[in-house]
Amino acid sequence: MLRSDDRPSVTPAPEHTGSQSAGGTSLDFLADRVDAVRGSLPRTLALAGELGTAVPLPGSGRTALTWQFLTTLAAEDLTVARVVEPHLDALAILDQAGMSSPAGPAGLPGGTWGVFAAEGPGVAVMASEEQDGTWTLTGTKPWCSLAEHLDSAIVTAHVRDGKRRAFAVDLRADGVTPEPAGAWVSHGLATVTSCPVRFDAAVAVPVGDADWYLTRDGFAWGGIGVAACWYGGALGVARTLLAASRHRTPDQIALMHLGRVDAALHGTRTALAAAADAVDDGRASGQEGALLAARVRSLAFDGAERVLEAAAHALGPAPLAFDERHAARVADLHLYLRQHHAERDDASLGRRILEGTLQGGAQW
């Protein structure tokens, strides 16, 4: 199993000495890297591959740095973060399953990875084990982001007894057909297109046992990684608001917006730091990890929505109309946040709390 300690450390250029760091590693150099790939999907995918060999894995003892990488990327460009995050998550999944290298199981290419785990009405992917022990996938998987551009993916499929299992699939192999006919019209994350993928007896390699994908501790940790991206996107919007406030004397209402934004960002930042410590200390496994992830994601979601609202109210239409980067960041963040199921996820969190108290868990 490849542990993060075996990965090369990311060393910034010596002239970069910014304050956002963990373990003594400055992340300011990532701004230059993002600028170099911005607007180019091929270059962004190449950056994802590069970071995949350098960013520590969650649970490695440097989880805070893992999530700070995602936050820093997202604060600069949410599209870049949206491409990198699932690649890093796929490598973490392979590591958690005991696969031998970040390139994945033998026989599959390296390159960039995705994670295709969504389900949808009327479609499903079924996994079958052949007599020679080979597994194949057949069916349609919805919401497969960048399926036309990635090399490989972790794909969840249905197996016997109603269970689901994860598989590693070469997306360039026979029997794998992305179906991008449905028009992707989103103005947010416009280049991170999602489409169904059809599998016709496509060869696949099992990753973990049946139902392992959803019950492993890393499932919760991956969800917090997405929340780190939401936080980074909100941070980018907040910086636009702060810059605007410095250019003119703010009135009481403007100061109120700045205060609310600062409180929202501080809350999410504190929750992410505490969650990273819990993961590395072994306090984020099982139901405790699932509860932690639900709380952090809810905080990050609410905080990001508060930042978006404050920026809209304080800045008015001008930056949305004339500041291309701000307008894109707002549109990107609005779409990215829809990975959270809003009130439904809050209800799920409430159910966890109630069930925990009924079983003798901690009270408020």
User: Which of 25-34, 209-218, 241-250, 311-320 bottoms out in mean pLDDT, i.e. has the lowest?
Assistant: 25-34
- Written as one letter, the residue type at 93 is I
Residues across the chain: 364
pLDDT at 267 over 70: yes
pLDDT band at 356 (very low <50, low <70, confident <90, very high): confident
Q: What is the pLDDT of residue 161?
A: 85
pLDDT at 174 over 70: yes
Q: Per residue in 79-125, pLDDT tens?
A: 999 999 999 999 999 999 998 555 555 556 668 999 999 999 999 99
Query: Counting beta carbons within 10 angstroms of the beta carbon of residue 239, is it exposed (0 to 12), middle (13 to 18) or buried (19 or more)?
Result: middle
Q: Per residue in 138-165, pLDDT tens?
A: 999 999 999 999 999 999 999 988 899 9
- State how far the Cα of 84 lies from the Cα of 336, in Å rounded to an integer: 14
Q: What is the pTM of this model?
A: 0.91
Q: Phi and psi at residue 195, in whole multiples of 5°? A: -155, 165
Average pLDDT of the segment spanning 294-314: 98
**What is the average pLDDT score of the chain?**
90
Question: C-alpha angle with apex 354: 351 to 357, nearest 5 degrees?
Answer: 145
Please list, in sequence order, all residues whose beta carbon lies within 8 angstroms of the beta carbon of residue 23, skipping any fewer than 6 positions away. Answer: 62, 64, 65
pLDDT at 69 over 60: yes
Please list, in sequence order, all residues whose beta carbon lies within 8 angstroms of the beta carbon of residue 300, skipping any fewer than 6 positions away. Answer: 227, 228, 230, 231, 234, 268, 271, 272
Encoded tokens for 134: 């080979």
- What are all long-range contacts of 116-120, with beta carbons under 8 Å and residues at least 24 apart? 116/141, 116/143, 116/144, 116/145, 116/147, 116/153, 116/154, 116/155, 116/156, 116/197, 117/154, 117/155, 117/156, 117/166, 117/213, 118/142, 118/143, 118/144
Q: What is the pLDDT of residue 15?
A: 33
Q: What is the pLDDT of residue 105?
A: 55
pLDDT at 48 over 60: yes
Residue predicted with more confidence, 160 or 76 = 76
- State how far the Cα of 11 lies from the Cα of 26, in Å rounded to an integer: 8
CB 264 within 8 A of CB 307: yes
pLDDT at 235 over 70: yes
pLDDT band at 358 (very low <50, low <70, confident <90, very high): confident
Q: What is the pLDDT of residue 103?
A: 52
Among 172, 32, 29, 33, which residue's Cα sits nearest to residue 114? 172
Encoded tokens for 126: 């079924």
Q: What is the pLDDT of residue 181?
A: 66
- State how far the Cα of 235 lies from the Cα of 229, in Å rounded to an integer: 10
CB 279 within 8 A of CB 227: no
Q: What is the pLDDT of residue 248?
A: 85
